[in-house]
Amino acid sequence: MAELTGLRSNIDKIDAEILGLLNRRTNVVLKIKKAKNDKHLAIHSPEREKEILERLQKVNQGPFPNDALKAIYREILSASLFLQQPLRIAYLGPSGTFTNLAARQQFGVSAEYVPESTIKAVFEAVESGKSHYGVVPVENSTEGVVNYTLDMFIDSELKIASEIMLKISHNLLSKTGKRQDIKKIYTYSQATAQCRGYLEKNFPGVPIIEELTTAAAARRVSKDPTAAAIASELAASTYKLKFVEKDIEDYKYNYTRFLVIAKDSPQKTGKDKTSLMFSVKDKAGALYLVLKPFARHRINLTKIESRPSKRKAWEYIFFVDMEGHGDDHKVKKAIDEIKKECLYLKMLGSYPSAD
C-alpha cells in the first residue's frame, strides 16, 4: 500500500508539472496572437496544426500511444485557438450527426458548433461570414459520393480547407432498448444502404422511414417508444437513447470523407491534395486530352467524378482530386496545360491530406 501511495504521489507531481507547462505554452500562444494581430495574419493555421501533430507523433518513443497523443493535442490546440479567436463551425445537423462527430474530431471541444439543416445552409453560413468553417460529407467508402455537396461547389466560391476521414459505426437505438418494441425504423438514406443486409435479416417487413440525417432520426425516435433509429453513439448520448445493437453496418471498413470549407485554402504542408472541377469540349477524346498531362507529370489522381452541369442538356462537369499542392511546380504545369482543352475550369482548393 505504501508503494502505491508513493506512485500516486509521483503522478500528482507530474500532473502539476504538466499543468504548469500547459500554462507556459498558453502564455506563448497569447504572444503569438498579438504578433499575428500586429501583422494582420490569420489566427487559425491548419498547416501549422498538422505540422505539430505529425512532429510529436514522429518523436514519440512511447509507451504513450500516438492515437491518444493526437487526441490530447487536438484539444490543446483547440483550447489555444479558443483563447486567440473562438471558431464558429457550421455543420450538417442536428446535433449528433456523423458530420458533428467529424467536426469535433477536427476542431476539438473548444470550438462553437452551429448545426444547419441542409448542406446548402452550411455553405451559406460560411459565405455570409456567420461561421469561419463548414463541415460537409462528400463520399462514403461503400456508397460513393454525396452528389449534393459536389453540386454546391459549381456556384460557390468557397474553397476546400481540409478533409476529415471518419470511421462510421452505425447503431440501432430506441427509447426502451428492446427489440420487440420496434414497429418502425427511422434513418438516413446512406445509413440504410450501409446496413441493408442487417435490416433485411433482422427486421424484414418493418417499415424504414427516411430522415434528412441520422441525428434527425434519433431525435424523432426520442419521442416514440415504438420506433428505432440508425445513428451514432453521439446521437444516443444527445437524445438519451438506449442501444438495441451496436455496429450494425454490413462492412466494418466503412469510412466517410468530409470536407472543411472556408473562404481561403491553407498553405502547403508537404502532404497535400488539390481538387478542381472542369467541363470539356464536345469532341472525341476530349476527356483523354485533359487527363493526359496529369499522367505525363506523374500526378496521382485519387478521384474523378462527373455530374450534370444543369446548365445544358448532356453537358457534364468533372470533379478531380489529386495528390500535391496547387503551388507545386508539376501540379501548376499540368493545370496550365489542360486549360486550353477545357470549356470551364475552377480550382476548389489545395489542403492537407487526411491520414
Cell of 131: 461561421
Cell of 175: 427509447
Which pLDDT score is estimated for 321?
93
Q: Is 310 left (phi over 0), alpha (psi -120 to 50) or beta?
A: left
Rg of the chain over Cα atoms, rounded to whole angstroms, equals 23
How far apart CA 290 and CA 342 sit, in angstroms, is: 7
Which pLDDT score is estimated for 317?
86
Are both 88-168+255-262 and 272-352 of the same fold? no
For the chain, which residues make up each domain, given as ranges? 2-84, 88-168+255-262, 171-245, 272-352
Residue (of 107, 155, 157) closest to 135 by Cα position:
107
Residue (of 89, 110, 106, 102) closest to 214 by Cα position:
102
Give the three-class secondary structure for 153: helix
Q: CB-based contacts of 232: which residues, under 8 Å, 6+ apart? A: 96, 97, 98, 101, 169, 170, 171, 214, 215
Cross-strand bridge partners of residue 18: none
Which run of H or of E encompasses 132? none
Enumerate the H helices of the chain as residue ranges: 2-38, 46-59, 66-84, 98-107, 119-127, 147-155, 189-194, 196-202, 214-221, 233-238, 286-296, 329-338
Q: Please identify which residue in the block is written with the cell numbers 430506441.
A: 174
Which pLDDT score is estimated for 168?
87
Tell me the fold of 88-168+255-262. Answer: D-Maltodextrin-Binding Protein; domain 2 (3.40.190)
Which pLDDT score is estimated for 94?
87
Task: Look up the CATH superfamily of 171-245.
Answer: Periplasmic binding protein-like II (3.40.190.10)
Quick one: how far is CA 40 from the chain centroid?
28
Which pLDDT score is estimated for 322?
93
Which pLDDT score is estimated for 128?
95
pLDDT in tens, 122-142: 999 999 999 999 999 999 887
> What would be the CATH architecture of the domain defined by 2-84?
Up-down Bundle (1.20)
Give the three-class secondary structure for 108: coil
End-to-end CA distance of the chain: 44
Which pLDDT score is estimated for 212?
86
Give the three-class secondary structure for 64: coil
Q: Which amino acid is at 230?
A: I
Preceding peptide of 63 cis, ω within 30°: yes
Cell of 103: 467536426
Global confidence as pTM: 0.80
What residues in the chain have per-residue pLDDT under 50? none
CATH number assigned to the domain with residue range 272-352, chosen from the 4 options 3.40.640.10, 3.40.50.2300, 3.40.50.10540, 3.30.70.260: 3.30.70.260
How far apart CA 138 and CA 102 sit, in angstroms, is: 12
